[in-house]
Structure formats: C-alpha cells, structure tokens
Amino acid sequence: MVDFDALKAAVIKGKRDDVVAIVNAAIAEKADVNELLDKGMIPAMREIGDKFSRNEAYVPELLIAARAMQSGLALLEPLITASGRKSKGKVAIGTVKGDLHDIGKNLVAIMIKGAGYDVVDLGVNCDVAKFEEGVAQGATIVACSSLLTTTMTYMKDVVAAFKGKGVKVIIGGAPITQAYCDEIGADGYSEDANGAVKLVDQLLA
Ligand code: B1M
C-alpha cells in the first residue's frame, strides 16, 4: 500500500531519493498514477507554497521540493504516456514570458501526450515568437501556463497574436480563472491537467 503521507512529506522536504524510492515501489505494486499525483505529490507542492506565503519556507526550499517533484514525475511519465498511439493532433505548450514555473506545465504536457496528442514543449519564459515556433511545427493549439499574477497578463498578448489565424489558445495555472479567460478572449481555460485534456479533445473534435 502506498503511504501517501510519506510521499507528500518527502516532496515537501525535497528528499529526492525518498520520492524516487516511494514512487518506484508504488509503480512496482501497480498503484494508481492519479492517486500518487492527487493524494501525494500535488498537495505537497500546495503545502510548500502555503508555507512560503507564511514565511515558513524560502526559495531554496521551494527549489528542492520542485526537484523532488520533477524526479517523481519523470518516473510516472512513461506510465501516463504509454500506448501504441496514432497522433490525434499537435499542441504547443509553454510557460509564459517572465515565468519560470514548469511543474504544472510539465504535468499538463504529459497528460495531453498520454491522451494521444503530439506535444511541442516550448519550456518556460515563452514569448509570442516562441509560441509561433510551436505553430510552425504544426501545432493548432497553443497552451499557456502561468503561476504568477505578474506574468498571467502576458497571456493576453499571446491570445491577440493568434486571433484569426486558425490557432486556438488555451490557458491555465494557479492564478487563472474562467473569468480571466473570458476577459482576454482565450479559447478555453482549465483548472488542472485532466481538464486541459478535455479542452483539447473538445477543440480538436
Ligand atoms: Co514560486 N510562486 N516563485 N517557485 N512557487 C508560487 C506560484 C506562489 C503562489 C508561492 C506563494 O507565494 N504561495 C507565488 C506566486 C504569487 C503570485 O503571483 N501572486 C510564487 C512566487 C512569488 C515566486 C517568486 C517570485 C519567488 C521569489 O523569487 N521571490 C519566484 C518567481 C520566479 C519566476 O518564475 N520568474 C518563484 C520561484 C519558484 C521556484 C523556482 C523556486 C519554484 C518553481 C520550480 C519549477 O517550477 N521548476 C517555485 C515553486 C515550486 C512554487 C510553488 C510552491 C509550487 C508550484 C507548483 O509546482 N505547483 C507555488 C505555490 C503554489 O502553487 N501553491 C509558487 C504544483 C503544480 C502541479 O501545480 O503549477 O498550479 P500548478 O499546475 C496545475 C494547475 O495550475 C494546472 O494544471 C496543473 C496540474 O493540475 N495548470 C494548467 C498549470 N498550467 C496549466 C496550463 C493549462 C491548463 C492547466 O493550459 C491549458
């Protein structure tokens, strides 16, 4: 049985080796990948963020927690994306200009890949020109992630850049809401990675 509390604690403390050991053991016993994410790893990142807000944790602690989280995600990725699949379309994804947070973006990319789409991962700090590179590679959906209230405003520029060009722009990230999506005229918003897959399914149906 997976000890979700131990997994959560290991991510919060940035104990990469412990995260890897717990995730590997969970994989060996065929644990549910979504449960590992939803009951262990994602709440851990939320908790370290709350500690940061209360000045009980600082940037270095966020960084080591993020590294531990990424190590666990790397182990889960092949399970999420496994399946002999024919591509259903192409999505370009990136974290917007000024923003270096990539864990949520990576998770969304893995889930979209797992649902049978090709994904061009443009990384972090993406300006409009970077998103255009993804479109030049055949993406018909641009997915923007932002974790900062100071960088989410750049999504408006991305939406404006692709208006009327046959490319849909979808947005997400902790500070984003449906109201913000409506305000900037984006083609869709989702709160989490599973919702992002549903959005892509709808837009490419
Ligand atoms: Co930063 N950080 N951080 N940080 N960090 C937050 C976002 C913050 C909320 C922490 C806090 O104060 N409680 C706060 C933002 C406050 C604000 O804007 N109002 C903050 C801050 C202030 C900062 C710095 C400015 C700190 C500083 O330097 N003083 C700095 C900014 C750097 C920069 O980007 N320019 C900074 C730096 C960092 C680290 C580098 C140390 C590290 C990031 C490492 C990395 O990503 N490789 C980090 C981390 C780890 C966090 C927290 C703790 C965790 C983020 C995370 O990975 N969550 C975060 C606190 C929090 O979020 N509660 C925080 C887990 C991840 C799975 O969730 O990314 O939300 P999330 O993704 C979800 C959904 O949002 C959604 O699906 C995902 C899965 O369900 N989603 C999408 C995301 N993208 C989507 C795209 C879609 C659809 C859905 O497309 C359609």
Q: What one-character-per-residue DSSP string does 60-80 give?
A: HHHHHHHHHHHHHHHHHHHHH
Per-residue pLDDT averaged across 88-108, rounded? Answer: 95
The set of protein residues with a Cβ atom below 6 angstroms from ligand 1 is: 42, 45-46, 48-49, 52-53, 59, 62-63, 66, 98-105, 107-108, 143, 145, 147-149, 170-175, 190, 192-193, 196
pLDDT of residue 46: 87
| Global confidence as pTM | 0.91
Residue 82 confidence (pLDDT) above 90 = no
Quote the mean pLDDT of the chain.
94
- Which residue's alpha carbon is nearest to atom 75 within ligand 1? 173
Centroid of ligand 1 to alpha carbon of 124 (angstroms): 12
Strand arrangement of the beta sheet that strand 168-172 belongs to: 118-121, 90-95, 141-145, 168-172, 188-189
| Cα separation, 86 vs 101, whole angstroms | 30
Closest CA to 37 of 72, 83, 81: 72
- Tokens encoding 73: 């995600």
pLDDT of residue 174: 97
Centroid of ligand 1 to alpha carbon of 1 (angstroms): 30
pLDDT of residue 85: 57
- Identify the three-state secondary structure at position 189: strand
Q: Is the Cβ–Cβ distance between 11 and 39 less than 8 Å?
A: no
Q: How many other C-beta atoms are found inside a 10 Å radius of the C-beta of residue 159?
A: 20
Per-residue pLDDT averaged across 23-49, rounded? Answer: 93
pLDDT category, 181, cuts 50, 70, 90? very high
- CA 129 from chain centre, in angstroms, equals 21
Contacts of 159 (CB under 8 A, 6+ apart): 169, 184, 185, 186
Contacts of 158 (CB under 8 A, 6+ apart): 96, 128, 131, 142, 144, 169
Ligand 1 atom, smallest distance to 46 CA: 63
Residue of 19, 101, 187 with the most ligand 1 atoms within 8 Å of its CB, for mutation: 101
Per-residue pLDDT averaged across 154-178, rounded? Answer: 98
The dihedral formed by the CA atoms of 85, 107, 93 and 178, expressed in degrees to the nearest 10:
110
Residue 11 confidence (pLDDT) above 90 = yes
pLDDT of residue 90: 96
The dihedral formed by the CA atoms of 151, 155, 156 and 162, expressed in degrees to the nearest 10:
150
R_g of the chain computed on alpha carbons: 17
Residue 83 confidence (pLDDT) above 70 = no
Centroid of ligand 1 to alpha carbon of 62 (angstroms): 9
Residue 114 confidence (pLDDT) above 80 = no
